[in-house]
C-alpha cells in the first residue's frame, strides 16, 4: 500500500511531486515505488488482455506488458536525457528517468481504470479485431494522458533561459513522438498480447509485418473491406 500512496501524490499534488523531483528529494524511493506499482498494474491489465485467448496467454501477457513499458523506457531514456542536456538542462539522468516513470505510472493507473471496461467487452463480445482495436484505443488514451504529465513535469523540473525552455519543450514533444514509435514497435515485437483465436498459445510470434499495417487491416476487417489472414 505504501508504494501505491505515491500515485495519490502524483494525481492530487503533482506540482509538489515534480518540485521534489527537481530538488532530487527521495528520487530512489519514488522511482522504486513507481516501478513496483506500475508493473503490478500493467501485469493486471495484461492478464485481462490475454484472458481472451487462454490462461497461458493471460500469464504471458501479464509478464510481457510491464516488460514492454520498461524496455521502451530503457530504449528512450538516453535520448531524452542527452537532448535535454544539449538544450541547457541541468537535470540528472535519474531525474529524467523519474519523470519518465511518472508518465508510465500514470499510464498504468489509467489502464487499470479501463480494465473493468475491457473485461466487460471481453465477456460480452467475441470479435477479435474489435477487441484488439479497443485495446489499442485504451492504450492510446492512457499513453496520451501519461505523456501530458511528462510535458507538465518537464516544465516544472527544468529551469534556465527562456529561449532554452522553449527549445526543451519542443524536444520533449519530439521525444514523445519517438516514444510512441518505439513503444508501438516494441509492442509489435513482443506480441501477441491478446492472442489470436484459432491459434495455439505462443509467447512470442515470429517477426514480420508491422504494427500500423496490422491496425489498418483490422479496421478494414471491421468495416468489411478485407479479411485479415
Decide whether 36 or 178 has the Cβ nearer to other proteins: 36
Q: Which stretch binds other proteins (CB under 8 A): 137-145, 153-161, 164-172, 196-204?
A: 196-204
Cβ-based nearer residue to other proteins, 3 or 151: 3
Q: Angle 100-17-182 (CA atoms, 0-180°, nearest 5)?
A: 10
151 grid coordinates: 510535458
Q: Does 177 bind other proteins (CB under 8 A)?
A: no
CA distance 117 to 112: 10
Q: Which residues of 218-228 are buried (b: 16+ CB within 10 A; e: fewer)?
A: beebeeeeeee
- C-beta of 214: minimal distance to other proteins in Å? 11
The answer to whether 207 contacts other proteins (rule: CB under 8 A) is: no
User: CA geometry: angle at 31 spanning 148 and 83, to 5°?
Assistant: 55
Per CB under 8 A, does 112 bind other proteins? yes
Assess contact for 49 and 65: CB atoms under 8 A: yes
**Contact call for residue 123 and other proteins (CB under 8 A):** yes
How far, in Å, CA of 130 to CA of 108, rounded?
22
Of 81-89, 122-130, 146-154, 163-171, which part binds other proteins (CB under 8 A)? 122-130
Q: Would you tell me how many other CB atoms lie within 10 Å of the CB of residue 162? A: 7
> How far apart are CB 136 and other proteins at their closest, in Å?
16
Using CB under 8 A as the binding rule, the residues of this chain from 33 to 62 that contact other proteins are: 37, 40-41, 44, 47-48, 51-55, 58
Rule CB under 8 A: is residue 68 a binding residue for other proteins? no
Between 165 and 222, CB nearer to other proteins: 222
Q: What is the DSSP string of 160-209?
A: S-HHHHHHHHHHHHHHHHHHHHHHHHHHHHT--SS--TTS---SSPPP-S
Residue 149 C-alpha cell reads as: 504529465
162 or 223, CB closer to other proteins? Answer: 223
Does 4 sit near other proteins (CB under 8 A)?
yes
Which residue, 15 or 166, has its beta carbon nearer to other proteins? 15
Binding site for other proteins (CB under 8 A): 1, 4-5, 7-8, 11-12, 37, 40-41, 44, 47-48, 51-55, 58, 109, 112-113, 115-116, 119, 122-128, 131, 196-199, 227-229
Amino acid at each position: 500500500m505504501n508504494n501505491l500512496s505515491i500515485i495519490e501524490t502524483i494525481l492530487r499534488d503533482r506540482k509538489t511531486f515534480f518540485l521534489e523531483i527537481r530538488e532530487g528529494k527521495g528520487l530512489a524511493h519514488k522511482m522504486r515505488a513507481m516501478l513496483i506499482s506500475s508493473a503490478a498494474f500493467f501485469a493486471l491489465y495484461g492478464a485481462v488482455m490475454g484472458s481472451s485467448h487462454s490462461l497461458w496467454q493471460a500469464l504471458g501477457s501479464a509478464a510481457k506488458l510491464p516488460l514492454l513499458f520498461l524496455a521502451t523506457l530503457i530504449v528512450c531514456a538516453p535520448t531524452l536525457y542527452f537532448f535535454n542536456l544539449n538544450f541547457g538542462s541541468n537535470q540528472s539522468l535519474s531525474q529524467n528517468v523519474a519523470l519518465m516513470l511518472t508518465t508510465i505510472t500514470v499510464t498504468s493507473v489509467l489502464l487499470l481504470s479501463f480494465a473493468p471496461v475491457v473485461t466487460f467487452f471481453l465477456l460480452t463480445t467475441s470479435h477479435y479485431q474489435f477487441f484488439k482495436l479497443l485495446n489499442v484505443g485504451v492504450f492510446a488514451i492512457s499513453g496520451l494522458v501519461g505523456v501530458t504529465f511528462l510535458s507538465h513535469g518537464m516544465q516544472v523540473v527544468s529551469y534556465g533561459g527562456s529561449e532554452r525552455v522553449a527549445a526543451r519543450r519542443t524536444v520533449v514533444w519530439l521525444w514523445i513522438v519517438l516514444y510512441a514509435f518505439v513503444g508501438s514497435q516494441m509492442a509489435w515485437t513482443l506480441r501477441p498480447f491478446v492472442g489470436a483465436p484459432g491459434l495455439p498459445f505462443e509467447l512470442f510470434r515470429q517477426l514480420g509485418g508491422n504494427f500500423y499495417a496490422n491496425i489498418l487491416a483490422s479496421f478494414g476487417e471491421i468495416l468489411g473491406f478485407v479479411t485479415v489472414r
